[in-house]
Amino acid sequence: MNRFKMLGVTLGLLGVASVLAACGAGDQGGAGYGAPQSATVGAPSSVVKAAGQVAAALAVPAGHTLTATYDATGVQVYTCLDSVWKPLEPAATLTDKEGRTIGLHSRGPVWISTLDGSAVAAAPVAGASNARPGAVPELLLKSTATRGEGVFGKVGYVQRLKTEGGVSPTGACVTGAQQSVKYTAVYTFHSPAAGAAQ
């Protein structure tokens, strides 16, 4: 069993399905990052310096503060439907600046803390995407549900930044086939500031 299959087992043991149910989040159609959501209206917050320069389209709405930044290493999984590769799910581990594993990222999409059990499910904000050559795009995602009181318990927005790899396979495929493509990214998590609405 390779390490990504082991990751899938680990996610199962942590009860990803129960996390999504508890959060009130579904599979978002099983198509990777699901349907776009609308962002909160307001002036964008400052650029997130922790993750480097961020495209204007990915700016987090005003009233939110950066609460965590983690590196992600894993795969984007694609499945063949009607002889065309379609995104299925991400499967990645999250690490802090010391390289310690602090969480997991999987279908939903959902991010789960392995330290405190908190979780956040989110969906892409419409139009909030930034293309990167040879990589899946950078994204701004809006929380659809959270669980717990830990690091992810109050997250309102998530940014996927500094993406490398993970692009869809090319060429013909046999329906039902799956392929995993390695990717890395930086995820930043933003929670409503005191007194601000999410």
pTM of the model: 0.79
122-137 burial, b for 16+ CB within 10 Å, e for fewer? bbbbeebbbebeebbb
Cα Rg of the chain (Å, integer): 16
Query: In sequence order, what are the beta bridge partners of 71?
Result: 95, 186
- Per-residue HEC secondary structure of 30-79 comes to HCCCCCCECCCCCCECCCCHHHCCCCHHHCCECCEEEEEEEEEEEEEEEE
Outline where the chain has alpha helix (H): 3-14, 16-23
Convert the pLDDT of each residue in 143-183 to its tens digit. 999 999 999 999 999 999 999 999 999 989 999 999 999 99
CA distance 153 to 81: 35
Could you tell me which residue, 175 or 29, shows the higher pLDDT? Answer: 175
Burial class (CB in 10 A: 0-12, 13-18, 19+), 52: exposed
On whether the CB atoms of residues 66 and 46 are closer than 8 A, the answer is no
Q: Could you tell me the pLDDT band of residue 52, with boundaries at 50, 70 and 90?
A: low
Tokens of 193: 């500031």
